[in-house]
């Protein structure tokens, strides 16, 4: 190789190297602090790095709202129960009031029945021209010994038979009888024995029965009594 050829080749190599370096471009660096943004209306949407934090906050708010809704529902159920209890109490008060009125009416009627006839209808003074005779007052009040009281008439005879078997020596020769009472909407049957002109007689009989552990009560003989 001669000197001219060597120079020619060296010049060509230098030219090629310069041409290649002219086409190289330096790399572009992205700013580290630039956030990713979402451009509305652009197809190339980039999600912001704060989106996960906002989603968690929304979820927490939703859970809090659900808890408040459940609390309100529980309170509403309690209020409904209180209203129901108030209604029941009103009903009970009305029933008690009606019962008290019924009892008051019954007591008033009983008081009217037990009140003796007014003495104003009878003359309080004897005529002046007729002398007043000092006649003894004869009492028509008699006494009896009550042995039991029950709400069913069918139990009168079995009860009397049982007491008579147990206290035959005390009750010998005495006749049983009963008196029916009406109280409110129910009935009561009093089982008694004997009819004594003096209370001491009835007291003596009841005392003997009590000594033998048999309950009894001395009372007035009712004119409406019926034989058993």
Which residue bears the tokens 């042995």? 147
- Residues 6 or more apart whose CB falls under 8 angstroms from that of 29 comprise none
pLDDT, mean over the chain: 74
Q: Is residue 63 part of a domain?
A: yes
The pLDDT-based confidence of 13 (bands split at 50, 70, 90) is low
CA distance 220 to 202: 10
The total number of structural domains in the chain stands at 2
> Does some domain include residue 39?
no
Q: CA–CA separation, 18 vs 23, rounded Å?
A: 9
Separation of alpha carbons 187 and 172, rounded Å: 29
Please tell me the predicted confidence (pLDDT) of residue 210: 94
**What is the average pLDDT across 117-123?**
48
* 10-19, 38-47, 214-223: range with lowest mean pLDDT: 38-47
* Residue 216's CATH number: 3.30.70.1070
Q: Tell whether pTM > 0.85.
A: no
Residue carrying the six token digits 């929304």: 58
Predicted pLDDT at 211: 94
Q: Does 103 reside within a domain? A: yes
- pLDDT for res 34: 46
Cα 67 vs. chain centroid, distance in angstroms? 31
- The pair of structure tokens assigned to 114 is 């037990």
The pLDDT score that the predictor gives to residue 35 is 47
For residue 130, the model assigns a pLDDT of: 54
CA pair distance 117, 186, nearest whole angstrom: 28
52/59 Cα distance (integer angstroms): 11
**Structure confidence by residue, pLDDT tens digits, 43-96:** 444 455 556 677 888 888 888 888 888 888 888 877 877 787 877 777 777 767
d(Cα 35, Cα 25) in Å, to the nearest integer? 26
Q: pLDDT: is 14 or 86 the higher one? A: 86
Pair (147, 101) in one structural domain: no
Q: What Rg value do the Cα atoms of the chain yield, rounded? A: 58
Is the pLDDT score of 162 beyond 90? yes
Question: Please, what is the Cα angle at 86 between 83 and 88, to 5 degrees?
Answer: 115
Supply the range of the domain harboring residue 211: 143-227
Mean pLDDT of 87-111: 70
Predicted confidence (pLDDT) at residue 158 exceeds the cutoff of 70? yes
For 18, 120, 126, 138, the CA distances from 133, given in Å and listed in that order, are: 173, 21, 10, 14
| 217 plus 176 within the same structural domain | yes
Query: Residue 124: left if φ>0, alpha if ψ -120 to 50, beta else—which one?
Result: alpha
pLDDT above 90 (res 217) = yes
């Amino acid at each position: 190789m001669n000197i001219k050829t060597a120079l020619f080749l060296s010049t060509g190599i230098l030219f090629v190297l310069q041409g290649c370096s002219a086409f190289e471009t330096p790399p572009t660096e992205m700013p580290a602090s630039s956030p990713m943004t979402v451009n509305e209306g652009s197809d190339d949407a980039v999600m912001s790095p704060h989106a996960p934090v906002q989603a968690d906050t929304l979820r927490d708010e939703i859970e809090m709202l659900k808890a408040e809704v459940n609390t309100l529902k529980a309170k509403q159920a309690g209020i409904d129960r209180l209203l129901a209890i108030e209604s029941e109490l009103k009903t009970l008060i009305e029933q008690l009031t009606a019962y008290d009125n019924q009892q008051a009416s019954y007591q008033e009627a009983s008081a009217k029945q037990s009140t003796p006839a007014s003495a104003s209808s009878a003359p309080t003074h004897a005529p002046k021209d007729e002398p007043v005779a000092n006649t003894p007052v004869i009492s028509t009040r008699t006494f009896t010994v009550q042995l039991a009281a029950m709400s069913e008439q069918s139990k009168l005879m079995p009860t009397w038979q049982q007491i008579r078997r147990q206290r035959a020596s005390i009750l010998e020769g005495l006749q049983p009888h009963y008196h029916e009472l009406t109280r409110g909407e129910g009935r009561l049957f009093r089982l008694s024995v004997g009819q004594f002109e003096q209370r001491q007689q009835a007291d003596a009989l009841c005392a003997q029965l009590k000594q033998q552990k048999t309950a009894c009560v001395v009372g007035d003989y009712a004119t409406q009594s019926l034989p058993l």
